[in-house]
Structure 1
């Protein structure tokens, strides 16, 4: 396994939520209809199909590190996902800026558990990304407990999409993507039953923001990443928690390529948080959680 060589003294931030949307061989993370609907929802004008190599160059140029991943929703969407094995192997060539997370399809049962172990032990994955709505599963169902048990044993965090979903937005039936699977309270059982598993709730969890704040306050192993929204639109209760009782448990994330990290940081500087809070959000909290300190 390649060791990370991120210099915490020189990087300015750790973006914990960055999507690899193309493998560079013609395979995209989503089919074209979902890609187009997502781009329209976020009004994104940046590179919509970044590869591992593009992200390494981009984040290195801006003196940032990035947690990079894809989402394997092969079973639910019927669209083959980008290989997390290849993603991790390619990220290993950029250990100064990239922190690879794996993704496995929970609906594939024992095969997903086996792949999760291989991704960490053989390919250097430093955590996992899940999207319950996109992958079509309820994370509190005991059928998926063997997967959470394996990730807990591997000692790496699991990051879950929560709240509103831009993928499928505006399409008939939202393309069958069910928002209720992304209610963060479904992860409360997971965090309680696997107390050594570090759970990251991705995004402002609208319309369930109060649940996410309650969970992160109650459970030492629950954290919140602030990706997917410009900070200027954050719910007031999230801003208050980020600047107060959860200041050591919230993490900078952009959701690039949907939002650029530069825009996110510029907007966050207008929130009026105490000066000592932002270094933790931008870098220190993630460095501690990811074992970089």
Structure 2
């Protein structure tokens, strides 16, 4: 990809449906998420359709699904399929994978294979959905291999729309997505590049503290319209964390069109705006200019 022609890099988009029509979530959890984001009835794009969408806008997108089969019983979209589809649209799509930490040694082997044989460029964790605390030692062998491979680990943080309004929250425990739990990971794996996904309600100050304190911890701004960003998050993005904050939309539930329109209304310095939209992600993902 030619970064000079790229308008923005969206580090947070979802593969919600496989080529066979298999969804990334159970119907119950998918409906809860749709209600939370007020997008009930929206059509789930295929990965090629996502590529066309971002190509039209001259943007690059990181794409992933979530493997939470241990906690939910719902089989994930195969990471290999995501990687293969992204490879067919490598001008606009970057594949991340999701390996359930509960898979143990098999998950560690899969992570290595996904990077070395399938071109995966990072890994997505959703602790609440996957049913584990980020500082649980069960995940440490997986972090170790991800750190060795030199690719980022992206952690969902804060509240989630998945399971919202379902009896018992669909069994999803919000406390697993406290960013302070990722602080232990940043200490124990000091060379692991970490992304804290989303404004981390109700732990926004904690996320800012971790990202300020730990050199390799970043924050993506996905999942919220910028008009609702907490003022302190905007202030830190404009100053102390200007080199560590990343554009992310949460497509398809939030489109980059809406996100960017609202972001344009924020009081962000021009030189910082370009960092957030593209430069920080390009550096973090090791993207070249070809």
The 1:45–1:31 alpha-carbon spacing in structure 2 relative to 1, beyond 3 Å, is closer
Residue 131, structure 1, aligned to residue 120, structure 2: no
Match of 1:175 in 2: 170
- 1:36-51 equivalences in 2 (<5 Å): 36-44=31-39, 47-51=42-46
Match of 1:3 in 2: none
Residue 196, structure 1, aligned to residue 188, structure 2: no
2:198–2:223 CA contact under 8 A, matched in 1: yes
- Mapped to 1, the partners of 2:261 and 2:39 lie a distance apart of 17
* TM-score, length basis structure 1: 0.97
| 1:114 maps to which of 109, 132, 136 | 109
Residue 148, structure 1, aligned to residue 143, structure 2: yes
- Mapped to 2, the partners of 1:185 and 1:274 lie a distance apart of 29
2:135–2:185 CA contact under 8 A, matched in 1: yes
- Offset at 1:11? 1.1
Match of 2:205 in 1: 210
- Mapped to 2, the partners of 1:251 and 1:27 lie a distance apart of 30
| 2:214 maps to which of 213, 219, 233 | 219
1:39–1:258 CA contact under 8 A, matched in 2: yes
- Mapped to 1, the partners of 2:101 and 2:161 lie a distance apart of 21
1:48–1:258 CA contact under 8 A, matched in 2: no
- Mapped to 2, the partners of 1:108 and 1:25 lie a distance apart of 24
The 1:124–1:47 alpha-carbon spacing in structure 2 relative to 1, beyond 3 Å, is farther
| 2:154 maps to which of 153, 159, 164 | 159
* TM-score, length basis structure 2: 0.98
Deviations 1:16-60 (A, max 9, x none): 000000002021000111111111110126854222111111100
- Mapped to 2, the partners of 1:47 and 1:85 lie a distance apart of 26
1:69–1:102 CA contact under 8 A, matched in 2: yes
Specify every segment of 5 or more residues in structure 1 that has no aligned partner in the other structure, as ranges: 1-5
- 1:12-161 equivalences in 2 (<5 Å): 12-44=7-39, 47-161=42-156
1:203–1:226 CA contact under 8 A, matched in 2: yes
The 1:76–1:251 alpha-carbon spacing in structure 2 relative to 1, beyond 3 Å, is same
Specify every segment of 5 or more residues in structure 2 that has no aligned partner in the other structure, as ranges: none
Q: Determine helix, strand or coil for the equivalent of 1:216.
A: helix
- Mapped to 2, the partners of 1:50 and 1:185 lie a distance apart of 34
